[in-house]
Structure 1
Amino acid sequence: MKRILICLLLAASTMSACNKFLETEPEDFVTPENYYNTEADLRRALNGVYNRLIDNFGRMYSRGLFTYLSISDEFFFKSITINNIRVMEFDAGQLDIGRFWETAYQGIDRANLLLENINKPKMDETKRNVIKGEALFLRGYYYFLLVDNFGGVPLKLVSTKSPNEAFLPRSTVKEVYTQILKDMLEAEKLVSDINGYTYNETVTQTAVQAILARVYLTMAGEPLKETARYKDALEYADKVINSGRHSLSPDYKQIFINHSQDKYDLQECIWEVGMYGNQLGNAQLAGAVGIENGLECPDDKIGYSGGSVHPTARLFSLYAATDLRRDWAIAPYRYVTTNGVTTKSNYTAAQIYDRTCGKWRREYEMSTPKNRSYNSTNFPVIRYADVLLMKAEAENEVNGPSAAAYNALNMVRRRGYGKPLGTPDAAVDAPAGMDKAAFLAYIQDERARELSFEAMRKHDLIRWGLYLSKMQSLAAEITATAPSGLKYAANAAKNITPRNLVFPIPNTELTVNRLIVQNPNW
């Protein structure tokens, strides 16, 4: 599948030290001076910016960002009782945290280098502007990932020319968000309409607008608490809704089956990170969606997963029994192999903690042979359902629980129960007459139901100021109610303290950059 291609390595830091060992200059050596001469060069460089969303070591959207980098009250890791990141026991030397930081800055540096050379080739100006817009957005998005996870970070807006360049101090959270908005708002005017594509791995106008709604909602909450931004979030959610480019897919489970089958759904899925292949060939752009967070299966032909990500009973109990999303998001069965024969084994009603994530099921994958650790399943960064729920939340904050807020919320709920989207249904619609606080609480639960395992719950809880209290209460719940052999599921929640609202600045950065100050209590 997938439109992200293998890119040439364009980092400027690789451009030194060669010709003093050689008598002649290599003719195929890539530098900014002999590159960026054609539209094709710019597009290859842009692929390199996208490429950092898929880290070969699994710290970005290939694995980490939707699993061990997003621990919340919706899941725990199977049989993890020792000290590591999966139980939130780590320090500033943790390898995955450092690699996450480095990979995001690699994406930023590649974007900076491309933007510095954007005007070099002679080419169609509309096409040039599209490439510029995508690069600007991606730079802003990498900074969004960084500020959301680390707090204030150094703002580097020019490419690295030499390892001897001066280091930068941390910018404030506000300063980083100001740059994010600058990049994304400019990008909105430059990128293409999604109607011109048959795939959704490229950043398009509604993708920029949807992410801007997310950015504004985040700015309205913790830690900035710029509540005036709710109005901006509402404006940008409405831009996506009123564009007419997107709608809810009628069948919830089909969204994720399509991912596993390498099919595109541009109506529901506004922007996806594209994975490619299964890491068995030369291309190193595969991911682990449905493997790290997959339905337990020991059979390679069906699609192996150790089933390491398990839902909490709290998440399970948020769904009504008639909510079709429950038994899709949370697997009602696993695969077992007996005497060489693999069959489905249904969980009992008491086996809530035994269940695994079921959104992406490898049994639907069509590419063979199947790799135990990698696949080509895309990850949805933002879906239309998320936009509707952001619309409901922002509308509630600006105008209270209006008819427009209820309508956006209820469309998502009706789809979750397999009901007609435009027809009121008292059995599934949100209760009428809620006040502003009650409506917000309802949205908070609905986001957990709709977007479970999609890397949103931790982000949401932090911006709502609920992360610490939710994790502390989760630890108590699991300790009191989980089966004796599964009480370890509380370990991550028990280890959460106020410092965990952000990750530590990695030691690899602190060691070389003396201008960096560590986050509190790390």
Structure 2
Amino acid sequence: MKKRILIIFLLAAGFFGGCKSFLETEPEDFVTPDNYYNTEADLRRALNGVYNRLIDNFGRMYSRGLYSYLAISDEFFYKNITINNIKVMEFDAGQLDVGRFWETAYQGIDRANLLLENVQRPKMDETRRSMIRGEALFLRAYFYFLLVDNFGGVPLKLVSTKSPNDAYLARATVKDVYAQIVKDMREAETLVSDISNYSYNETVTKTAVQAILARVYLTMAGEPLKDTERYADALEYADKVIASGRHSLNPDYKQIFINHSQDKYDLQECIWEIGMFGNQLGSAQLAGAVGIENGLECPDDKIGYSGGGIHPTARMFEMYEAADLRRDWAIAPYKYAVVSGVTTKVNYTPVQIYDRTIGKWRREYETATPKSRSYNSTNFPVIRYSDVLLMKAEAENQVNGPNGEAYKALNNVRRRGYGKPVDAPDATVDAPEGLDKLSFLAFLQDERARELAFEGMRKHDLLRWGLYLSKMQSLATEITATAPSGFRYAANAAKNVTARNLVFPIPNTEITVNHLIKQNPNW
């Protein structure tokens, strides 16, 4: 984006001449831990390198994959993709994108480990050193959270790679991986800075750690661990974010995403974002594809090209009431098309549900020019304040039942979605009163889908609730029975989902070299 430019710092190769005296001299242009981590600036550059792995130039992280083809659920399908593709859940352990996801996460972990091993070396202010250490601890834990959430138990590597001959590690249990995640994040919470010290939200701050910890604990409470005591921890950490007073709901839902497209920060709503920079047309290779991979259809480069490849399911569309303002923002009510040689906005008819595309990030609002067809600088929000409120409502319901606190958190999100004042009760939009614990949870599950549509959360939520397989199976039946004939193929991804898809396969690239690792079932 703007203020935080995440740079890849590659280790420079040494230059070897033919002179004996040169060979006897220690090369000064060969970067090693011994001659690199000598200043605070070195630590900062190394930390930027850890953040960088959340982007990934190949598009497998937050530049593209984690909110699109790595997060297939019942909320969307890919246009005109029918067979032999991860986008329709037809792949194996040799799938390139899954392998690259695994590799990129471990690159981030290794960079974090190397930084943590050298963070004490420079002479510098101890408070700033602690902040760097805290961010590195959190990021290492977050990479592990992405891995365990998608692959199950994974090797728990807590030291940097010293040699290609380092011993391989077996898979740690899911429980042990989560224990390390919690340990690192809780320590990071005491070290990182408060968001009030920044004018941007691409840096990990105290409320970001607390919000993600609430997410981690909710995940631990659900499948596959089913450690239900963690609901109380999730409630504690959601409450910490709320009590901080640092965050609030943006009163205008659509403005959250317009701000992203316009490279503007909203520290109240958006607690932590992945910072993108540029559009890959220059030397900086840190751009993403938010609003391109998942954008509304537009053939015009000046407006902002998107092939409109991702389409919402009718199930997703019908979760919204017509008065819910989020529906026609999250799901585009129009596309751009060339009519009589002129690019024109064309509205969809009421029956064109499957034709629609995602409209959350609209490239027409981008201000940076020239616009690239494939890349932009639009940030991706990892966690928003509305998510914290919904986690609060869910955890409160699980711990104390559907009490006033649970209803308040849920209804604040709903009211904003309908354009209402968030603190004023409104019988026309508030959740029905008198719900029991199970009914409240079911209502909240749909509310999370409405609020966080296409933000990479739906698959994660369905998995932890133990609903992913059943929801995909019922989606296949729905689409086959009700979709227009030209869109019946939209059921293919759901049809291909089986019990093995509760996790990704361990990549063949890892299985081949590490014989201590066993493959996930049925892969």
- Give the TM-score, by structure 1 length: 0.98
Q: Hey, what's the Cα distance between the residues in 2 that align with 1:318 and 1:326?
A: 9
> 5 Å matches for 1:320-331?
320-331=321-332
Q: Identify the residue that residue 456 of structure 2 maps to in structure 1.
A: 455
Aligned-residue offset at 1:19? 5.2
Three-state SS of the structure 1 residue aligned to 2:36 is coil
Q: Hey, what's the Cα distance between the residues in 1 that align with 2:40 and 2:506?
A: 38
Q: Identify the residue that residue 427 of structure 2 maps to in structure 1.
A: 426
CA RMSD of aligned residues (A): 1.2
Task: Confirm or deny that 1:198 pairs with 2:199.
Answer: yes
Q: Hey, what's the Cα distance between the residues in 2 that align with 1:87 and 1:21?
A: 56
> 5 Å matches for 1:61-460?
61-460=62-461
Q: Hey, what's the Cα distance between the residues in 1 that align with 2:378 and 2:76?
A: 21
8 Å contact kept, 1:194–1:205:
yes
8 Å contact kept, 2:294–2:358:
yes
8 Å contact kept, 1:66–1:453:
yes
Counterpart amino acid of residue 341 in structure 2: G
Q: Identify the residue that residue 464 of structure 1 maps to in structure 2.
A: 465
**What are the ranges of 5 or more consecutive residues in structure 1 without an aligned counterpart?**
none
Q: 1:92 to 1:21 in 2, by over 3 A?
A: farther
Three-state SS of the structure 2 residue aligned to 1:271 is strand
Q: Identify the residue that residue 515 of structure 1 maps to in structure 2.
A: 516
8 Å contact kept, 1:4–1:50:
no
8 Å contact kept, 2:6–2:51:
no
Q: Hey, what's the Cα distance between the residues in 1 that align with 2:104 and 2:144?
A: 11
Q: Hey, what's the Cα distance between the residues in 2 that align with 1:470 and 1:171?
A: 29
Aligned-residue offset at 1:340? 2.8
Counterpart amino acid of residue 334 in structure 1: K
Aligned-residue offset at 1:337? 1.0
8 Å contact kept, 1:4–1:51:
no
Three-state SS of the structure 2 residue aligned to 1:190 is coil
Q: Identify the residue that residue 474 of structure 2 maps to in structure 1.
A: 473
8 Å contact kept, 1:289–1:360:
yes
Three-state SS of the structure 1 residue aligned to 2:35 is coil
8 Å contact kept, 2:6–2:275:
no
Q: Hey, what's the Cα distance between the residues in 1 that align with 2:493 and 2:243?
A: 41
Three-state SS of the structure 2 residue aligned to 1:33 is helix
8 Å contact kept, 1:230–1:398:
yes
Q: 1:27 to 1:416 in 2, by over 3 A?
A: same
Q: Hey, what's the Cα distance between the residues in 1 that align with 2:16 and 2:216?
A: 46
Q: Identify the residue that residue 55 of structure 2 maps to in structure 1.
A: 54
**What are the ranges of 5 or more consecutive residues in structure 2 without an aligned counterpart?**
none
Three-state SS of the structure 1 residue aligned to 2:311 is strand
8 Å contact kept, 2:296–2:308:
yes
Task: Tell me how many residue pairs correspond in the alignment.
Answer: 518
8 Å contact kept, 1:167–1:513:
yes
Aligned-residue offset at 1:212? 0.1
Aligned-residue offset at 1:9? 1.9
Three-state SS of the structure 2 residue aligned to 1:310 is strand
Counterpart amino acid of residue 313 in structure 1: A
Counterpart amino acid of residue 509 in structure 1: E
Three-state SS of the structure 1 residue aligned to 2:34 is coil
Aligned-residue offset at 1:290? 0.1
Q: Deviations over 1:495-514 (max 9, x none)?
A: 00000000000000001000
Q: 1:21 to 1:63 in 2, by over 3 A?
A: farther
Q: Hey, what's the Cα distance between the residues in 2 that align with 1:161 and 1:242?
A: 43
Three-state SS of the structure 1 residue aligned to 2:370 is coil
Q: Hey, what's the Cα distance between the residues in 1 that align with 2:129 and 2:5?
A: 18
Aligned-residue offset at 1:7? 3.0
8 Å contact kept, 1:272–1:381:
yes
Aligned-residue offset at 1:5? 2.8
- Give the TM-score, by structure 2 length: 0.98
Q: Hey, what's the Cα distance between the residues in 2 that align with 1:338 and 1:424?
A: 46
8 Å contact kept, 1:49–1:135:
yes
